[in-house]
Chains A and B, each alone.
Chain A
Amino acid sequence: MKARTVDKIATGIIVTLALLIVAVLAGLLGYILFRGMSHISWDFLTSAPQKIRAGGGVGPQLFNSLFLLVLTLLITVPLGLGAGIYMAEYARPGRITGFIRLIVEVLSSFPSIVVGLFGLLLIVNIFGLGFSLVSGALALTVFNLPLMVRITEQAFRSVPAQQKEAGFALGLSKWKIVTTVLFPVALPAIITGTILSAGRVFGEAAALMFTAGMSSPRLNFSNWNPLSPSSPLNPFRPAETLAVHIWKINSEGLAPDAVQIAAGASAVLVITVLIFNLAARYVGRLIYRKLTASRRMN
């Protein structure tokens, strides 16, 4: 066969595969949105669920998902950045760093149900944190942290070495170089990593059932005292997230409109992830531009 024919066939196959993937994803997304959109209303987004009557909403669950995301990121981002920067810039290559890297990889491939049971045992019972947002955030940290560490490490490693040299030659300290020369360059990749790990927080159910719990106390959205048990901001209260709620009503929902609620909640979840994704990218781009004086991320 002529080289040109081969080339055409190969291009054709690759394009077909790409279109196939896009079609599957678009179909999936379209199906979820199509089934759920009709059920989404302001009332659905803000009201509490109903046990046996129709017309319940997902307000507390939506709030719980967002709050859990904030808590998890508060734990994951500083730890992940710190460990990733250590691995990339400070650790000497050797057995210990190799070992850390191995552990990080094993951790990130843990089945989430195992993480959930481990969380139930250690965080909920032994540490005595009970079914709570904090327990859920800690459990999510178990598999989000490795991702964050790896992505941070790679982001810093991919900054050209000459940037560091230029900093040293100007008489900058290593800390100054890491924070002001390398970090801005590594930022876009770190933001991508944060978004990826955030996606897992929204979507995770198995690990949260046994840690954050499957119920939500009656929340009083006018009480913002984080220590009060009925306050939405109390991190030590149980909190059913959107993903857990979808699983629950799908498997044991008693309300007559359980199917519609599940569909609506799924659409809400997908839209929330989408909004978070776009918002994070937008904010990241603003910061990147501010730090590097450039017009776009590269």
Chain B
Amino acid sequence: MEATLTAPHVLQEAMVEKNFRTENLSIFYGTYEAVKGISLPFPEKTVTALIGPSGCGKSTFLRSLNRMNDEISGSTTKGSIWIDGVDINASGTDVIKLRQKIGMVWQKPNPFYKSIYDNIAFGPRYHGVKGKKALDEIVESSLRRAALWDEVKDRLKDSALALSGGQQQRLCIARALSVNPQILLLDEPASALDPVSTGKIEELIKELKEELRIVIVTHNMQQAARISDYTAYFYLGQLIEYGLTEKVFTNPENSMTQEYIMGRFG
């Protein structure tokens, strides 16, 4: 099944996008092919939503973008992931450097068992930022970018686990931002949160996309429609449809996409 690319200009943009794209990416767990030869562009200053029923391979695909699947034994990846003209899926890639370029946030907030301050300062300190002043600045700017600064600025030394779920999730976003990534991968970042916190996260995503590329996996169709510029519909490890979110949601090419979006299956 070939992906249906909606509008011609999308096709053009997608083909032009050189700085971050996958090419024929397949992911195997043992012999099981969880993701089947997917080529997707992720243009600058955009949010790309990956949607599809559970088990369709969208999370696996997302995790492969910063080589997190390396840590799962028995998983292999074929194809290319191009970032700034380099195929990061090639064997010589320095994964540690790569992962600084790509931040990631999961469904369940997972702050470290450390203070709020140390949660943010941990990555930069490890990657060579020295001096209290420099770290203080990174902590403040990261927390500001994650819209959390005002709520926690008076208790930076407190345990991060004392924060509410929504605050913890924004802290995780701040932590991802602390190493200045160019790309942010979000795996259902709001599905474990209450509506108010979800709203805050969505607001944040819209602001952050001015600075970096965002790829988000979501089960919430309204959310995908609200925050994303492009949408990719996955089914059984294949890319069924890709295009401008507006187009995919109002007038999808593929009837399977239509049925999923309307909530008739999945």
Chain A residues with a Cβ under 8 A of chain B: 92, 160, 162-173, 176, 180-181, 184-185, 291-295
Contacts and interface: CB of A to CB of B under 8 A. Distances in A.
A171 B112 contact: no
7 contacts: A160-B110, A168-B71, A169-B99, A169-B103, A170-B122, A172-B126, A293-B157
Contacts of B118: 293
Contacts, number: 76
B78 interface: no
A170 B99 contact: yes
A72 B96 CA distance: 38
A293 B115 contact: yes
A281 B73 CA distance: 37
Given A172-B123, A291-B113, 17 more contacts: A92-B73, A160-B110, A162-B108, A163-B113, A165-B104, A169-B99, A169-B103, A169-B176, A170-B123, A171-B96, A171-B100, A172-B96, A173-B96, A185-B113, A292-B114, A293-B118, A294-B162
A16 B183 CA distance: 60
A162 B158 CA distance: 21
B113 A294 contact: yes
A133 B161 CA distance: 45
A204 B230 CA distance: 69
B159 A292 contact: yes
Contacts of A164: 71
B226 interface: no
B112 to A, nearest CB: 6
A172 B113 CA distance: 16
Interface residues of B, number: 36
B179 interface: yes
B90 interface: no
Contacts of B179: 170-171
A167 B66 CA distance: 13
A6 to B, nearest CB: 37
Contacts of B133: none
Given A171-B179, A172-B123, A166 B158 contact: no
Given A92-B73, A170-B122, A176-B126, A294 B110 contact: no
A170 to B, nearest CB: 4
Interface in B45-100: 66, 68, 71, 73, 95-100
B172 interface: yes
Contacts of B108: 162
B50 to A, nearest CB: 17
Given A292-B159, A293-B114, A168 B68 contact: yes
Contacts of A92: 73
B127 interface: yes
B175 interface: yes
Chain B CB within 10 Å — which of A165, A293, A294 has the most? A293
Contacts of B249: none
Contact of A171 (B97, B115, B160, B172): B97
Nearest to A172: B126
A294 B98 CA distance: 32
Nearest to A289: B159
A295 B99 contact: no
Contacts of B68: 165, 168-169
Contacts of A293: 114-115, 118, 157-160
Nearest to B108: A162
B265 to A, nearest CB: 30
A173 B71 CA distance: 12
Nearest to B73: A92
B106 interface: yes
A171 B114 contact: no
